[in-house]
Amino acid sequence: MLANINRLRKEREIQKVFKIGRSVKSANFSIRYAPNRFGNSRFAIVAGTKVDKRSTRRNAIKRQIREVLRQTQSEIPQGYDYVISVYRLPGWPLKQVDIKQEIALLMKNIK
């Protein structure tokens, strides 16, 4: 579980990332990021109904992504707000190893 200090919870903060942030994309995920005034990174995960109609599946995807972020937090560039959008996942359920590889590849492209 990600600590509360590492979560973006307010809609206006998420909208700010969408407004001023930059993005990197892969087959299953898109990461928008913007610098913040804090020393640590904060995350929000967005999975719409196009990913899956069932909220239980969408929440399961979000939990998997949060766990990957918690495990790889030391490798992620600090001082940014991140919004991770999930696209329709063709091979559901994705294994955590696959999610970790794809997110790590995207994080390497962040400048």
Q: Which CATH number goes with the domain that contains 74?
A: 3.30.230.10
Q: What does the pLDDT look like over 89-99, one tens digit per residue?
A: 777 777 889 88
The answer, yes or no, to whether residue 88 has pLDDT greater than 90, is no
As a whole number of angstroms, the distance between CA 36 and CA 22 comes to: 13
Q: pLDDT at position 3, please?
A: 84
Count of domains forming the chain: 1
- Residues of the domain holding 11: 4-108
Over the stretch 69-86, which tens digit does the pLDDT of each residue have?
999 888 888 999 999 999
Average pLDDT, the chain: 89
Rounded percentage of the chain residues whose pLDDT exceeds 90: 53
User: Residues 6 or more apart from 5 whose CB is under 8 A from it?
Assistant: 40, 42
Beta-bridge partner residues of 80: 35
Amino acid 85: pLDDT: 95
- Name which of 70, 68, 76 is nearest 95 in CA terms: 68
Which band of pLDDT confidence, cut at 50, 70 and 90, is reported for residue 110? confident
With the C-alpha atoms ordered 79, 64, 24, 108, is the resulting torsion angle positive or negative? positive
